[in-house]
Structure 1
Amino acid sequence: MSSSIVQYILLRSDLLKDLGWSIGALVAQACHASTAVLHVYRDDENTINYLGDLDNMHKVVLEVLNEESLKKVAEKLKENSIDHKLWIEQPENIPTCLALKPYPKEEVKKYVGKFKLYKAMLTS
């Protein structure tokens, strides 16, 4: 059943590209947001089903350009009663990432469909 349920994570691309955060720091932000929203909504039926089939969890990490874009998405989700967690990194107090609780894709695609998959350009 969890295969039809997706967890979307929206991560700021400017943290890497403009502000010099490491890939590891970005991964940590996504992990924080995902873990937090799963905990907050642990009694939700979609979350229970999603976590009931751990080997088939489906997450999609999408790119938002900056803090302003992330806050706009969070506000739109809130206005439409879409459960999510805006992760604010402490002690810096910087919004970095947003994770939706697991939802059937069809229920939330209109809120996340305009965002591209997150692609980090690595240089060595």
Structure 2
Amino acid sequence: MHRAVRPVFQRGRNMAASTAEPQILVQYLVLRKDLSQAPLAWPAGALIAQACHAATAALHIHRDHPHTGAYLAELERMRKVVLEAPDESTLKQLAETLQQKNIDHLLWLEQPENIATCLALRPYPKEEVSQYLKKFRLFK
């Protein structure tokens, strides 16, 4: 497996060395905080899995976007920020706002219950999306 990953790391370093400093891209995730609290009390592993599902799906769906390609080309520079939404309603409201503003994202729905658990944006420059996320704090 390391042989497959190593050329990607090398390619990313060569690209950075041959051009101006690349734009720093961030993938934002917004995870429901209430899932970790009573009465739901999901275990930490289940919450982490929801964030992983959402992040992977958003990267896959937006794999042809130049920002996603640049983000994945430099694996050692990947940045993710995990924020918390208080509940499902707030998460769905954020999804609606992002859709209205044409911000690429994915709302992960856990099946078979069809529960919205996590929202993931594709990689973006922080300054392009921070205004939509500033009311959310880091997930704790």
Q: Check whether TM > 0.5.
A: yes
* Percentage of identical aligned residues: 58
2:29 partner SS? strand
Instruction: Provide Cα deviations, 1:4-63, integer angstroms capped at 9, x if missing partner.
Output: 100000000000013110000000000000000000000000000000000110000000
1:101 alignment partner in structure 2: 122
2:75 matches 1:86: no
2:26 alignment partner in structure 1: 6
* AA matched with 1:15: L
1:92 partner SS? coil
The equivalent position to 1:36 in structure 2, one of 46, 57, 60, is: 57
Q: TM-score with structure 1 length normalisation?
A: 0.93
Higher relative contact order (CA 8 A, sep 6+): 1
1:43 partner SS? coil
Aligned residues: 118
Instruction: Provide Cα deviations, 1:85-122, integer angstroms capped at 9, x if missing partner.
Output: 00000011100000000000000000011110000xxx
2:60 matches 1:54: no
2:131 matches 1:114: no
Bigger fraction of residues in helix: 2
The equivalent position to 2:36 in structure 1, one of 5, 13, 16, is: 16
d(CA) in 2 for partners of 1:112, 1:17: 22
Q: Which has the larger radius of gyration?
A: 2
Q: How much has 1:73 moved relative to structure 2?
A: 0.2
Q: Which segments of 5 or more consecutive residues in structure 1 lack a partner in the other structure?
A: 120-124
